[in-house]
Amino acid sequence: MAIVNRLTVDGRDYFLPDPVTELKGKILEAIKAGGGYVNIPPLRGGPGVDILFSPGMPVTWSQFEVGDAGANADEASDDAGDYGL
């Protein structure tokens, strides 16, 4: 299983791989400084996106585990059998 972090900024979601400790620190520094841009790296390759963080901006972090698709497909087929589908 992999851990994925979701950063919600002003209603928009950004999905990030672990670890995010350094990114959280950069966002906190930008907010304490009265505002500043922080580059949010992409989940997969690419340049990421620069977001202007400022005091009072709604920012939420959440973290969840993501399993491999093969295990979920097996579980789904077992559930379907229970209902006679």
**Which pLDDT tens digit goes with each residue over 15-25?**
988 889 999 99
Do 54 and 35 contact (CB within 8 A), yes or no?
yes
Paired tokens of 40: 């949010």
Do 7 and 40 contact (CB within 8 A), yes or no?
yes
Tens digit of each residue's pLDDT (9 = 90 or more) over 33-67:
999 999 998 878 888 999 999 999 999 999 988 88
Residue 22: what pLDDT?
A: 96
Paired tokens of 74: 């097996």
Asked if residue 84 has pLDDT above 70, the reply is no
